[in-house]
Amino acid sequence: MIPSAIWDPEFECMHVDALRELQLERLRKVVRRAWGHVPYYRQKMQVVGVTPSDIKTLEDIRKLPFTTKDDLRLCYPYEAFAVPLEKVVRIHASSGTTGKSTVVGYTRKDMEVWTNVVARFLVAGGLTSKDIVHIAFSYGLFTGGFGLHYGAERVGASVIPVSAGRSERQIQIMRDFGSTALVCTPSYAVYLGELVQGMGLKPGDLKLRVGFFGAEAWSNRVREEIQAKLGLFATDNYGLSEIIGPGVAGECVHQNGMHISEDHFYPERIDPDTCEPVGPDRRGELVLTTLTKEAIPLIRYRTRDICMLMPGTCPCGRTGARMSKITGRSDDMLIIRGANIYPSQVEEVLLDVKGTLPHYQLVVSREGALDRLEVRVEVSEEFFADEMKKLNELDRQIEHKLENVLGIRASVKLVEPRTIERSEGKAKRVLDLRPKE
């Protein structure tokens, strides 16, 4: 196993009672800040009849209203800021695929916290100052490139800001510069792994040792695939622009849940329909409160990400709660012929089927009045070279399993390796071609 150190033991290994005390103190401060400096928040609190002095215990957080992406859109661009712009040293924005983007700002202190929490998960996953870090996230409004860059520099590693795109050149740079750590989305790592093979290279031709992948959901099977193809040890990390960017949570070398930096981000889990808290061993929507952010304090932000929280100390010594892999988003549900379908259900079915690759796409269309779901799945080279009979069997097997899990029929289209479009950033799993109502 890769050895790892602890970056910030005072906080990462804090006794849980002391952590709760710190969280309460910080929560009260952040609520006062929002009330005092963001009129939009004050109004929201007034509507539910709560004031900062009502927050006496951590449980009182439930009295506070939730914040959603729509709230932030209404505050576009700067109305959610709790500090004047002259105190803001960085601005990022999240992609605006479904409307206006949300704009986020950082004070100098926010930058310090951000850098530090990214350094935490990098060190937890095995990064050291001796590493050469190849960052293939895009640098720009997306928080991935700059977030990982600053954190890796803080650890003292040598950082190569390659950014996204020109994949063959990426591999050339990894070879020539002797990169030992790779940072990108897991789907791009799979693609780079395929390209390494396609270029006739073996994992040993690269010096990669560790990989830090995040920004989208991925399964443990994809992890195995990346580890085997690139010859590295892969960990998952999670974050979102609204909260800080990458650095909310990350796995340690035990690869068993992502440690949340609970001294900066207070996690809750709710049932997305009733908004009531869910029990410890049940999945729920993650709700986060920033405990230290100055520029944009966010209270009870509904992330829409579905996960479980695992309490208890990890063998690595960190005491904060760990979050499981994200298994879906409460808003990525598709309604097809009345059935509620999550892309992650399809992925789960495919993971069980030998011969399929982790590249798939759901194509939803409308024929007459009826919605149609086609699941395109790449199959491995060996399978494709096989006789037709075997492919038909595989097709039928997947259709049968999908119907069992989804409750509706989906047609399966097996496609050749490398025919589903690859992305340099987050993978696009759903193509909804139905006319917008």
**Structural contact between residues 42 and 165, judged by C-beta atoms closer than 8 angstroms:** no
Span of 74-82, 105-113, 166-174, 208-216 interacting with ligand DLL by CB under 6 A = 208-216
Kindly state whether residue 180 participates in binding ligand DLL, applying the rule CB under 6 A.
no
User: Which residue among 157, 215, 295, 394 contacts ligand DLL (CB under 6 A)?
Assistant: 215
DSSP characters for 81-123?
Answer: -SS-GGGEEEEEE---TTSS--EEEEEHHHHHHHHHHHHHHHH
- CA–CA gap between residue 420 and residue 399 (Å, rounded): 19
Give least dist CB 227 to ligand DLL, A. 16
Kindly state whether residue 240 participates in binding ligand DLL, applying the rule CB under 6 A.
yes
**Binders of ligand DLL among 67-86, rule CB under 6 A?**
none
Kindly state whether residue 308 participates in binding ligand DLL, applying the rule CB under 6 A.
no
Cis (ω within 30 of 0) for the bond into 417? no
Span of 4-12, 152-160, 234-242, 401-409 interacting with ligand DLL by CB under 6 A = 234-242
- CA–CA gap between residue 180 and residue 206 (Å, rounded): 8
The kind and range of the H/E element at 431 are strand 430-432
User: Which residue among 326, 379, 394, 398 contacts ligand DLL (CB under 6 A)?
Assistant: 326
Nearest to 5 by CA among 145, 219, 155, 117: 155
What mask of x and - would describe binding to ligand DLL in positions 116 to 155, judged by CB under 6 A?
A: --------------------------xxx-----------
Strand partners, 286: 269
Give least dist CB 241 to ligand DLL, A. 4
Closer CB to ligand DLL, 325 or 422, in the complex: 325
User: Quick one: tokens of 237?
Assistant: 């990390």
- CA–CA gap between residue 294 and residue 111 (Å, rounded): 10
Span of 155-163, 197-205, 211-219, 408-416 interacting with ligand DLL by CB under 6 A = 211-219
- CA–CA gap between residue 312 and residue 269 (Å, rounded): 17
Kindly state whether residue 239 participates in binding ligand DLL, applying the rule CB under 6 A.
yes
- CA–CA gap between residue 336 and residue 326 (Å, rounded): 23
Give least dist CB 433 to ligand DLL, A. 23
Strand partners, 11: none
User: Which residue among 125, 245, 284, 343 contacts ligand DLL (CB under 6 A)?
Assistant: 245
Closer CB to ligand DLL, 308 or 394, in the complex: 308
Backbone torsions φ then ψ of 22, nearest 5 degrees:
-60, -40
Instruction: Mention every residue, 6+ apart, whose C-beta is less than 8 A from residue 152.
Output: 118, 119, 122, 127, 131, 133, 135, 159, 181, 183
- Positive or negative, the Cα torsion across 365, 347, 425, 171? negative
Using alpha carbons only, give the angle 301, 55, 9 rounded to the nearest 5 degrees.
Answer: 70
Kindly state whether residue 26 participates in binding ligand DLL, applying the rule CB under 6 A.
no
Kindly state whether residue 241 participates in binding ligand DLL, applying the rule CB under 6 A.
yes
Closer CB to ligand DLL, 31 or 104, in the complex: 104
User: Which residue among 211, 246, 257, 328 contacts ligand DLL (CB under 6 A)?
Assistant: 246
Kindly state whether residue 329 participates in binding ligand DLL, applying the rule CB under 6 A.
yes
Burial of 382 (0-12, 13-18, 19+ CB in 10 A): exposed
Closer CB to ligand DLL, 343 or 355, in the complex: 343
Kindly state whether residue 90 participates in binding ligand DLL, applying the rule CB under 6 A.
no
Kindly state whether residue 301 participates in binding ligand DLL, applying the rule CB under 6 A.
no
Kindly state whether residue 348 participates in binding ligand DLL, applying the rule CB under 6 A.
no
Kindly state whether residue 305 participates in binding ligand DLL, applying the rule CB under 6 A.
yes
**Structural contact between residues 136 and 164, judged by C-beta atoms closer than 8 angstroms:** yes
Span of 36-44, 69-77, 230-238, 345-353 interacting with ligand DLL by CB under 6 A = 230-238
Q: Kindly state the number of chain residues that form the binding site for ligand DLL, as judged by CB under 6 A.
A: 20
Which stretches of the chain bind ligand DLL, using CB under 6 A? Answer: 94, 142-144, 214-217, 236-241, 245-246, 303, 305, 326, 329
